[in-house]
């Protein structure tokens, strides 16, 4: 791809997981920027904040008190978007269709330390987060009315995060969301035709080309997908064909935690800031089907484009046509791959 003329001109790239396209415009990185600039987030936070409703021992906004938890901690969201006792209702009037949706929303506090984020945590601490994700996926997914479990994190105020305490969320629901449905369809089509994993075969090709690989260890690979939409989008893919995170063993859990730390540290090091992103794990639905076609993966969608203060907006063409990006996936991967895996804040303190 590096020698491909396509890489020098406007072109479209196909997302094999969703069947969608992204417009790539490499020449637009030269345009001047006079638009909105974000405020820089700070790393200077206290380990405990008496006003934070996620810190140990504090009263939450909903009135309940957190235990004095010492590592990872999860609880049912006090202001859940989904409710478990929602009755089954259908509205169908002419061209208007609506269905009620039952579910459970949980908050996962990654650490009792208010000042930390994932890249600043130890690998052993991130392992505990992975372990809790496994537990929640298994327990929530085994419920009769839960057919999908979505694990995700919004990091940073510009990603809509309402609290700076290190935390993520889990939404478990009765229907299968559209993004997961699209990926199920394309992975299943490939599986039935080739009897192999779509994402597994894609990973083999990426490793051979070595143009978009950012980091790798024994069990996981971090790369910028060929079809990436966000400027420094990354995906963590297991080398083994696993349908969900519950299947990985102790060594693989540590390997996964290591890769999460590497990816998030590289993000912080890119512009030397607490780097915002939305991340999520896509894995097989919990609808009772085997879903042999599924290959779980974790995606990171960060909005920063040129610096710590310049955000990539999805507006205009992106909203009315299809996603568009300026820097190529190869340029982004090269930049990320060259960054150190030690956090810049630690390097500054040496």
Residues 164, 177: Cα–Cα separation, whole Å: 27
User: Could you give the CA distance from residue 239 to residue 252 in angstroms, rounded to a whole number?
Assistant: 10
Three-class secondary structure of residue 85 per DSSP: coil
Q: Please report where in the chains the tokens 């072109």 appear, as a residue.
A: 11
Indicate which residue of 148, 167, 282, 297 is catalytic. 167
Verify whether residue 297 is a known catalytic residue.
no
Sign of the C-alpha dihedral computed for residues 31, 15, 152 and 88 taken in this order:
positive
Q: Is 309 exposed, middle or buried (0-12, 13-18, 19+ CB in 10 A)?
A: middle
- DSSP for 196-247, written as a single string: S-HHHHHHHHHHHH-SSEEEE-SSEEEE--TT--STT-EEEEESS--SSGGG
Sign of CA dihedral 40, 41, 44, 50: positive
- The Cα angle at residue 183 between residues 13 and 232, in degrees rounded to 5: 50
Q: Are 151 and 136 in contact, with CB atoms under 8 Å apart?
A: yes
Rounded to whole angstroms, what are the CA distances from 174 to 158, 165, 181?
30, 29, 13
Token pair in block for residue 77? 């969201």
Strands 73-76 vs 96-99: parallel, antiparallel or unpaired: unpaired
Q: What is the torsional sign of CA 105, 313, 9, 322?
A: positive
Residues in a beta bridge with 311:
304
User: For the sheet containing 21-24, what is the strand order?
Assistant: 11-14, 21-24, 324-325
Residue 298 phi, psi (nearest 5): -120, 125
Query: Active-site residue numbers?
Result: 167
């Amino acid at each position: 791809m590096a020698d491909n003329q396509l890489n020098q001109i406007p072109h479209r790239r196909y997302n094999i997981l969703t069947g969608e396209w992204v417009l790539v415009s490499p020449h637009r990185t030269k345009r001047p920027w006079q638009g909105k600039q974000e405020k820089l987030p700070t790393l200077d936070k206290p380990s405990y904040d008496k006003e934070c409703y996620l810190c140990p021992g504090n009263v939450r906004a909903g009135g309940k008190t957190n235990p004095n938890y010492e590592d990872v901690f999860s609880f049912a969201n006090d202001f859940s978007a989904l409710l478990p006792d929602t009755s089954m209702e259908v509205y169908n009037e002419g061209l208007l269709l609506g269905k009620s949706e039952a579910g459970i929303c949980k908050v996962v506090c990654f650490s009792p330390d208010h000042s930390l984020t994932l890249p600043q945590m130890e690998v052993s601490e991130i392992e505990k987060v992975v372990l809790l994700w496994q537990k929640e996926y298994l327990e929530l997914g085994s419920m009769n009315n839960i057919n999908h479990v979505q694990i995700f994190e919004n990091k940073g105020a510009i990603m809509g995060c309402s609290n700076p305490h290190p935390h993520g969320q889990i939404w478990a629901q009765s229907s299968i969301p559209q993004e997961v449905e699209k990926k199920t369809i394309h992975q299943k089509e490939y599986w039935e035709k080739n009897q192999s994993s779509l994402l597994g075969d894609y990973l083999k090709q990426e490793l051979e080309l070595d143009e978009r690989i950012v980091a790798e260890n024994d069990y996981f690979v971090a790369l910028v997908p060929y079809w990436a939409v966000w400027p420094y989008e990354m995906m963590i893919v297991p080398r083994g064909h696993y349908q969900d995170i519950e299947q990985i063993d102790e060594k693989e859990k540590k390997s996964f935690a290591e890769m999460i730390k590497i990816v998030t540290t590289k993000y912080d090091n890119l512009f030397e800031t607490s780097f915002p992103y939305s991340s999520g794990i896509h894995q097989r639905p919990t609808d009772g089907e085997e879903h042999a076609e599924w290959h779980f993966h974790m995606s990171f969608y960060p909005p920063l484009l040129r610096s710590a203060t310049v955000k990539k907006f999805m507006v205009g063409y992106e909203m009315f046509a299809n996603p568009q990006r300026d820097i190529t996936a190869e340029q982004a991967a090269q930049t990320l791959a060259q960054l150190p895996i030690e956090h810049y804040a630690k390097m500054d303190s040496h």
